[in-house]
Structure 1
Amino acid sequence: MAATPDTMHWRGVHHLALVTPDMDATVRFWHGVLDARLVTTLATPDFRHYFFEVAPGNTIAFFEFTGKDLDTYAKPAGVPYEKASQFDHLSLYLPDEAALERMRDRLKAHDCEVTDVIDHGFLRSIYFSDPNGIALEASWWTIDPTGRPVDYSDPQLFADPDPVPAVVELRENGVLDHTVQTVLVDSIIEDIRRSA
């Protein structure tokens, strides 16, 4: 069943824009180690913006801002950090276990630290970081929930014993009772939940 009567036909993530203080190291890791082809670059006096292909039509992009000394940090995936409240980690999709093991071996061959394969039930993953400290994951679906009808009562895929009200609505009615409103901002707001 479609999420709405007028279904959007998403084709993946066009690009996820991240920030790097060192574009050269970023190219060397993303293109050289991860084998995500550098497919386009652009630059202005204020920034560089480079794009790496992770699937047809899907890219990971980085900004390198000119003359800006930005705070950086590194954190493991799934560990909360007050300065990273809107981004935790990026998981890249691989087709199967063999590809996951090849990526793990490739990372090790390039002297990059990486976990063993972690079994999460419906997916298996490895975890590592890029040279910017961005927490990364490579995963494959052992049970692919995409491209097929959703069964919100499937305990393998919907295992939260106390789901949020929106999931209860979807499970019971197949639709949401309501959505939420958002607003545009014209400057940086430090904590949107407290300033509303």
Structure 2
Amino acid sequence: MKIDRIHHVAYRCKDAKETVLWYQKMLKMDFMLAISEDYVPSTKAADPYMHIFMDAGQGNVLAFFELPTQPEMGRDPNTPAWVQHIAFKVKDRETLLEYRAHLEANGVDVLGVTDHGAFHSIYFFDPNGHRLELACPDPDEENMLKRLDEVKWDMLEEWSRTKRAPKQGAFLHEREFRN
């Protein structure tokens, strides 16, 4: 018994149409389908919703729910804004830089390029307040991931005991950052 893949990941949105149009324009995702009901199929609760699905490439689906009868959506005040995010992979650094220019030209504040060793990323927020990341592989990604794989269990065990950042993976950030 094994999971095949993620079917979809669902988040809440403030406005379904605005969300579809933003993801189409900013991230070039196709609008796949919409489902709308007055009752939640799983719980039978009376709670009208619009459920939209966006094609995030290669069978990956990003979905959203607009819930007009629920209180305004918020975020966990005990979790920093940088923690919860959706990361999408792009082909290479050139594509990453093209997206950064495209987003900035359309008024989106973008942080980065951040060099994470095995990959490089930019960060920004969608109109719902969800933090997004676009990441591309580093030219040395294969070697970096192999080295991380070799130390992952030692790192996890040390973290579990000490709650301090283990140093086995420090090689990722030893080189100069490329911003």
What is the CA-CA distance between 1:30 and the residue it aligns to? 0.8
| 2:133 alignment partner, one of 132, 137, 159 | 137
Q: Which segments of 5 or more consecutive residues in structure 1 lack a partner in the other structure?
A: 1-5, 74-79, 169-196
In structure 2, distance between residues paired with 1:103 and 1:67: 35
Helix, strand or coil at the partner of 1:95: coil
In structure 2, distance between residues paired with 1:66 and 1:91: 27
In structure 2, distance between residues paired with 1:84 and 1:44: 33
Q: Which residue of 2 aligns with 1:37?
A: 30
CA displacement 1:95-134 (0-9 Å, x = unmatched): 1101101111110121111123111100100000000110
Q: Which segments of 5 or more consecutive residues in structure 2 lack a partner in the other structure?
A: 39-47, 161-179
Percent identity over paired residues: 26
Asked if 1:111 corresponds to 2:107, the answer is yes
CA 42–101 in structure 1, closer or farther in 2 if over 3 Å, else same: same
Q: Which residue of 2 aligns with 1:63?
A: 65
Q: Which residue of 2 aligns with 1:3?
A: none
**How well do the aligned residues superpose, as a CA RMSD in angstroms?**
3.1
CA 121–84 in structure 1, closer or farther in 2 if over 3 Å, else same: closer
CA displacement 1:32-72 (0-9 Å, x = unmatched): 22111111111112111101111121111001113112332
Structure 1 residue identity aligned to 2:105: A
In structure 1, distance between residues paired with 2:153 and 2:109: 34
Q: Which residue of 2 aligns with 1:188?
A: none
Instruction: Please identify which structure carries the higher helix content.
Output: 2
Asked if 1:96 corresponds to 2:89, the answer is no
TM-score, with structure 1 as normaliser: 0.64
What is the CA-CA distance between 1:144 and the residue it aligns to? 4.7
Aligned residue pair count: 147
